Structure 1
């Protein structure tokens, strides 16, 4: 794949170990958000998680676009990237009380993340000013809203920052950015697999200090199996097809726009789904055979629903597979809430796994049937 003289692009390459190290720091925010939601599974608590993840994800994604164009090949760039990682670490550490006593730390860390991102782009990539002349000021403005909102405890400023970030890409052309599909898809896949790994860690945290009974073992095994089905939903086929579909889009502007929707917007509900699912499984570990509280059951089912709906949108954007059955699976997942409330989390976990199996089997049967018909004709 080649780039035009005015494109922000480098030859396609694999993600580096330094980028993976960066992802490990970012995913600590997923751990913190999961713990926060498990401790406050209320509508307000979930809304706060949505806002924090939204504004954090915007800048993580910004770093993926950065390293898609700029290699961290010298000490100065690596030190700057380490500074950005430190900012993300401060943000993660501040999450538990971000709407209170640590709001200023959250805002300061986030501002550092933004400033380093803009600085690296502008100093490391020739011609970057064509792209960053509008993106850098807008990013720093929203980072300022987050900083002031955290300092003065004005959460509506965070909501405003999230909203501005969501609409920013529609205010400007992305035609001068030529996404390198292989690297781009791999980076996002890495962060998703690490986030799923954190859901396994949540099982261990939820089980800490509890006697190893058959109920605990069953809950842990079912929680792991549910996480596996989230993995299968994306990594069985969609990640490879996504790379092929993105690379096949010849126009840089259309490729950038598709990348934004598939890996920017669609990933938000997918990651929220991982967070909520992990929080629900964590809550289930100590109460495997007792009735779930309504909120705990909703969080568990809602995590699966969000992931499936986000994955359906991901497929829709890249046109890489059936959409309807995954969206329907998300709706059916919410119907398992009464099982947790009236029976117990074990039954609900089994039902959620059955939802995934039904979706996968149905899609495979229909896909095989279409293939057979094509061969006959």
Structure 2
């Protein structure tokens, strides 16, 4: 993540603007592209590449979320620069399928543009802050661009080095003076999760494209929609309000660090889980009338498991809500893989039942507000 700066001139921050939501829609196109890559290469090499690409893209995106939390896009110059940043993200998304091949240079140029626009917006807010941030921004962008020029292991090595710079940079500067608008911050990250979950519904449609709409395929599509709904329920379900209150209650000197951990680190597995799940459900629709290959069954269950683990981590950092049943559920869904090797419908239904059981158990064990009041 681009490191939040010290000494930025802060402005009043309102709720997420429609321009920011438009920006998020462009960013989430990368989720669709990453899903397609993983569905086409459901092996460890393909998964590794998806993780590397997602980490680079997410940390740069989250840098924009931090920036607009402080520098609202309220004037024409900022809006124009944000639009240019969207174009950079569009270049990145379009290049994702061939990022390790011929279109790698497009990925690198797009990333450099996104990074430069981010720095420009922050420079406009506080030139003094950029004296601290510019070297790390330039280094990470140069590593990504350099990696896009070379090939083979060198590309992966330079991109992993860029990720290391991005991950370390927030710890090289204090975050105590970063003014976090909790309402805006929680809403912005919640919107990106719900839009990403919407992409999993798109994956269902992509899987069914050009195929006969048999009863089995319609059944798997319906169950896939139920799974997306249950993942939405698990992340939200009133917890967005609790997350806002929890972040607001953190002392201002520690709020930036808490925000980094809960919304930076913890959201990586959340988004990765959506990507993996979407790739799995896409293939489940294709093979609805029979069984899944081991890789596809693992994608379906593994995506849900990764999402649950990310949600547990998110709740841990904010100290909100129950976590035990979600942790158990993350491992329980992996046990459905053998079912998928026999019946696609059976595995999708089993995963849905397990998620519903987690939600039911949490609701049953939740304290009664009326009893607590007495």
TM-score band by shorter chain is over 0.9
Distance in 1 between residues matched to 2:39 and 2:143, nearest whole Å: 27
C-alpha distance in 1 between matches for 2:62 and 2:237: 23
1:101 is aligned to 2:87: no
Query: 1:8 Cα deviation (Å)?
Result: 4.9
Cα deviation, residue 249, structure 1: 1.7
Aligned residues: 366
134-143 vs 239-248, greater mean Cα deviation: 134-143
Decide whether the 8 Å contact of 2:85 with 2:114 is kept in 1: yes
Q: How far apart in 2 are the matches of 1:27 and 1:219?
A: 24
Match of 2:265 in 1: 265
Q: The residue matched to 1:336 in structure 2 has which SS?
A: helix
- CA shift, 1:368, in A, is 3.1
1:212-291 equivalence runs, <5 A: 212-251=213-252, 253-291=253-291
Could you state the TM-score of these two structures normalised by the residue count of structure 2? 0.94
Q: Secondary structure at the match of 1:289?
A: coil
Please say if residues 301 and 337 of structure 2, whose CA atoms lie closer than 8 Å, have aligned partners that are also in contact.
yes
Match of 1:315 in 2: 315
Which whole-Å CA distance do the structure 1 matches of 2:51 and 2:44 have between them?
10
What is the rounded CA distance, in whole Å, between the counterparts of 2:31 and 2:210 in structure 1?
A: 23
Q: In the alignment, what sits opposite 2:139?
A: 141
Deviation at 1:75, TM superposition (A): 1.7
- Structure 1 unmatched runs, 5+: none
Which deviations, in whole Å up to 9, do the C-alpha atoms of 1:56-84 show, x marking residues without a partner? 00010000111111121222111111111
| Contact 1:61–1:264 (Cα < 8 Å) also in 2 | yes
Aligned residue number for residue 15 of structure 1: 16
1:168 aligned partner: 169
Which residue of structure 2 lines up, in the alignment, with residue 111 of structure 1? 112
Residue in structure 2 matched with residue 361 of structure 1 by the alignment: 360
Q: CA deviation at 1:374?
A: 3.9
Cα separation, 2, equivalents of 1:137 and 1:324: 42
- Cα distance between partner residues in 2 of 1:245 and 1:12: 19
Separation (CA, whole Å) in 2 of partners of 1:232 and 1:175: 33
Structure 1 residues 74, 314: CA separation in 2 closer, same or farther (over 3 Å shift)? same
Q: Partners of 1:317 and 1:305 in 2: how far apart?
A: 19
1:273–1:250: structure 2 CA closer, same or farther, 3 Å change rule?
Answer: same
Q: Which residue of 1 aligns with 2:208?
A: 207
User: How do 1:20-169 and structure 2 match up within 5 A?
Assistant: 20-123=21-124, 125=125, 127=126, 129-130=128-129, 132-153=130-151, 154-169=155-170
Q: Shift in Å at residue 29 of structure 1?
A: 0.5
Please report how far the alpha carbon of residue 372 of structure 1 lies from its aligned counterpart in structure 2 after TM superposition: 7.1
The CA deviation at 1:122 is: 1.0
| Mean CA deviation greater in 348-357 or 268-277 | 348-357
1:209 aligns to what SS in structure 2?
coil
Q: Could you tell me how far apart the structure 2 residues matched to 1:109 and 1:148 are?
A: 13
CA distance in 1 between counterparts of 2:21 and 2:261 reads 23
For the Cα contact (< 8 Å) 1:114–1:143, is it kept in 2?
yes
Query: What TM-score, normalized to structure 1?
Result: 0.94
CA RMSD of aligned residues (A): 1.5
Partner of 2:3: none
Query: Does the CA contact (< 8 Å) of 1:9 and 1:180 recur in 2?
Result: no
Rounded Cα–Cα distance in structure 2 between residues aligned with 1:362 and 1:186: 27
Measure how far apart 1:43 and its partner are: 0.7
Query: Is the alpha carbon distance of 1:22 and 1:361 closer, same or farther for their aligned partners in structure 2, counting shifts above 3 Å?
Result: same
2-side partners of 1:285 and 1:320: how far apart?
Answer: 35
Checking the alignment, whether the CA contact within 8 Å between 1:37 and 1:46 is kept in structure 2 is yes
Alpha-carbon distance in 2 for matches of 1:13, 1:346: 45
- Deviation of residue 92 (structure 1)? 0.3
CA distance in 1, matches of 2:8, 2:136: 21
Q: Deviations over 1:227-258 (max 9, x none)?
A: 0011001111221111111111232x311111
The whole-number CA distance in structure 1 between the counterparts of 2:150 and 2:102 is 10
Over residues 20-76 of structure 1, what are the superposed CA-to-partner deviations in whole Å (9 max), with x where a residue is unaligned? Answer: 110110011011001111101101101110110001000100001111111212221
Aligned 8 A contact 2:204 2:221 in 1: yes
Which residue does 2:296 correspond to in 1?
A: 296
